[in-house]
Structure 1
């Protein structure tokens, strides 16, 4: 039986960029472009159409800077109205000040628009499987902002204006800014077993399931189970938010 392909929507105000991504994905087995949109409002309308048709969408490749509803606002709305859909944010520059705001809004990862085709495909597959997909330079920038500010407060990006989805933003999961990181793991981590805490620490170091498996001498399927339990217990959307949570809670 043929496996259901990963359904992707392209959201960018530049048709040429959407065309480029579509051509890259066209030849990829197991990935299907099901819709396109030029701004956030149109993207939400397309998701509603797909849902009504019973086909749905798995991954949204979301540009940040668009006229009308921008990518941050659209990401927040997608997370709130279509919780099963994952958003992979596309940024033009690795110093894009909106990147942190997009994570606050619920994005599952970042990718630079000049990424190689193989990186785009890999990012889509990783986000679909529940893993993180973040350009290293963007991750570095985001963690620098975390260290400088003591954390990401809900409702503000680097410029202090990024919205978050009600019930899905970082504050809803205990992501309030703290002046300094605690010297020992925070009480919020008490719901985790010792092994789950070990897994969270390694996630925070940016390790994938294979690397965690090797370090803890566990099978990858066991690691995957532990990761799922960590996310469920801490009410985190994905590994990206697990990294932020860990950094803000002393790991």
Structure 2
């Protein structure tokens, strides 16, 4: 595919000629591919690369010390040490002028919500066209939000026809429902899922609220009825 023309370049209110991009992905081949594409564009500059969220945070701190922050961080979600969701939150809180665009293989709405809630300015799937990645970077640099068309459709559908019942639960909440049905206490759920007891309690409350239930016993019955756990004999 040919590179987008210069006429599509971002119009920057700060007068800078190029958008500086930090590429963050734990796969070197992905980073190299993105770099090769971006480097042929006059209005984009690859500032650096990082292989995980922690390395990205370290690089940004070092750049900040030299007054040379990236404009946009393009990052994956599932990475070692510090994942993309946590890295997004830390970047946007510590450096509000730096925009984050997520580029990942996972389009579940709960991941999208988490990324956007943590300050992401874009969310793309890795099967996106290179031109869409460029468009997302340029949009973020302008202060706009760019969503992958498939992700945007999911969010729109969620608004038009919100999920109900079991389908309203996130993957983690379904796990919690199964554990509740198996008689686990909040402490035991926390230990099983390696989360805090407070977080486990919040998940249980969310499950009951979304299913419009008032007790853990009712939740257990729903789990059995939905085939998530076998009936107790």
| TM-score over 0.5 (shorter chain) | yes
Deviations 1:51-102 (A, max 9, x none): 1112111000010011111000000000110110000011214337422211
Counterpart contact for 2:23–2:50, Cα < 8 Å = yes
Name the CA distance, whole Å, in 2 between partners of 1:158 and 1:84.
33
CA RMSD of aligned residues (A): 2.6
- Residue 75 of structure 2, aligned match among 62, 65, 83: 62
Structure 2 residue 48 is the aligned partner of structure 1 residue 35: yes
Q: What residue is the counterpart of 1:88 in the other structure?
A: 101
Label 1:46 to 1:149 Cα distance change in 2 as closer, same or farther (>3 A): farther
Unaligned runs of 5+ in 1: 151-156, 162-177, 180-251
For residues 116 and 80 of structure 1, the distance between their equivalents in structure 2, rounded to whole angstroms, comes to: 30
Higher relative contact order (CA 8 A, sep 6+): 1
Greater displacement, 99-108 / 141-150: 141-150
Pick aligned residue for 1:98 from 111, 120, 135: 111
Task: Report the structure number with the largest CA radius of gyration.
Answer: 2
What secondary structure sits across from 1:159 in the alignment?
A: helix
Mapped contact 2:24–2:53 kept (Cα < 8 A): yes
Q: Displacement, 1:158?
A: 5.9
Structure 2 CA distance for aligned equivalents of residues 149 and 83 of structure 1: 33
Displacement after TM superposition at 1:141 (Å): 2.1
Q: Conserved in 1, the CA contact under 8 Å of 2:109 and 2:155?
A: no
Residues matched between the structures, number:
157
Relative distance call for 1:35 and 1:136 in structure 2 (3 A) is: same
Asked whether the 8 Å contact 2:85–2:118 carries over to 1, the reply is: yes
TM-score relative to the length of structure 2: 0.61
TM (norm. structure 1) is 0.57
CA distance in 2 between partners of 1:101 and 1:57 (Å): 23
Q: Are the aligned partners of 1:58 and 1:86 in contact in 2 as well (CA < 8 Å)?
A: yes
